[in-house]
Structure formats: C-alpha cells, structure tokens
Amino acid sequence: MEWKQVEDNWVLTPAKPKGVIHFLGGAFFAAAPHVAYSRVLEQLGQNNYAIVATPFLNNTFDHRQIARDVHTSFRKVRSKLFLDYFPVFGLGHSMGCKIHLLVNSLYRPSRVGNIYIAYNNYSADRSIPFFKELSNTIPEMSAMEFTPSPKETEELVRANYETSKNLLIKFIDDDIDEISTLAQILKQKFPNTVSLNTLKGTHLTSMGIDLKWQAGNSFSPVDAIAQWVKQEIHKNNQTLEQVLLAWLGKQ
C-alpha cells in the first residue's frame, strides 16, 4: 500500500477499508502531511482505514478560506474514490485541529467523530515568529489577526459544532497546545461523549517520521544516538497509535 496523489490529496486506500480518516496537519508541516506524519497515518492505514491527507499552505490570515478549500478538496477525492458510503473521522494536529473545527462548524459535514491532537488556536502575534518586532517596523501589522480570531473560533464551535463524539489528546511536555480549553467547550455541549487523554510526548510527537537509519560497518556513538532517538519517537507514537485505534474501534 503506497501513497497516491488524488485531487491534490495524499491517499492511502487499503483493499477493504472500514472507514475514512480525513487528516489535516499543523502549520508549515501541513504542506506535506504524508511525509511529516507518515508513521501514524500509515499505521492507521495498515489497520484498514482509508487515509485522505489534505495539504494546505499557511500563507494567509484567512483560516475560513483554508477550511473552505480543504473541505472542497476532500469532497472531490471522497467522491472520486467511491468512499461516500464509509464512515468518516476527522483527525487533526495543532493548527489542523482549528481547520477541522471550522469545517465542522461552517459546513457541518457528516462525521462519526473527530480526533484533535495538540490543538492550537493562538492569535497571530503568538503564532508568527517575530510578529511583534515586525509590527514595530510595519505599523499596519499590529491590527492584523487570523479570521476567524481565536475568540470567534470558540464562538463558532459553541454555536454550530454538531459532531458529538470527540477524542482529544494532550502531551505532557507540550506547553503550546490548548486542548484543555477545547475540552471545556466540547464537554459543555457533549458531556458524555468527549474523551481527553494525556500521553507522554511533546507537541511534535505525532510527527513520527520513520527514521531509516543505517548504521556503518562499526557501531559509533552517532549510531547509538540515532537508534535512541528512533526508539523514543516510536515508543511515544506506538502509545498514540494504540489510543487512536482503540477509540476508533469503539465508534
């Protein structure tokens, strides 16, 4: 089973899929989700979930437009691959969570459930490097903000979000996510169907790229460090994958 590009999406299609997972990655890494998140997505694919990873560029302050584009792109590929009659789950990491929230709140697509990993909904001045420094040079930037703003996004979710089954995942060593805030909002709407899991790892744990490290003829200290890094990445991701598959299997 290999990645294929269909309607600008990267797709894994097992022979007998039991569901479809629509994946959106975090800012900067979302442009190549099949590479940056290969390990987790391929593990889900091996467990008979069709994967549709929709890339997007974080080159605009208009997150509504990004949501509109990824929603349209997913609908095209889902129809083209005849996946319309399979249950669909949303899966997002960091900024990808916000885009999924907007898609669900603005377009209300049919979803069995959604999974949010290390959700991030920060304002522009917290998300963009050197934003404050640039604002001092370019005064117009000081008034710039994402559309919808963090507060507006929360209001949209409270008013329009209808997917009741949600899995939220927070990592212990992640100080930039806002999963706790999202959990409060969703649990107010769906008190009995929102699950919050806290796992070992960092904001980038879900980006489990499978390192193909080949040791030299003699095992050097560098080889030892590389093997340790690989083991640590895989250890955290195996835990993440187990949580994802266990939750998906119950839906």
Residue by residue, what is the 3-state secondary structure of the chain? CCCEEECCEEEECCCCCCEEEEEECCCCHHHCHHHHCHHHHHHHHHCCEEEEECCCCCCCCEHHHHHHHHHHHHHHHHHHCCCCCCCEEEEEECHHHHHHHHHHHHHCCCCCEEEEECCCCCCHHHHCCCHHHHHHHCHHHHHCCCECCHHHHHHHHHHHCCCCCEEEEEEEECCCCCHHHHHHHHHHHCCCCEEEEEEEEECCCCCCCCCCCCCCCCCCHHHHHHHHHHHHHHHHHHHHHHHHHHHHHHC
* 166-215 tens-digit pLDDT: 999 999 988 888 999 999 999 999 999 999 999 988 888 887 654 444 44
* 135-161 tens-digit pLDDT: 556 655 555 667 899 999 999 999 999
The CATH class of 4-250 is alpha beta
Does the pLDDT value for residue 17 go beyond 50?
yes
**Which carries the bigger pLDDT value, residue 9 or residue 147?**
9
pTM for the complete prediction? 0.85
So where are the chain's domains?
A: 4-250
Instruction: Quote the pLDDT of residue 213.
Output: 40
Q: What is the arithmetic mean of pLDDT over 57-78?
A: 92
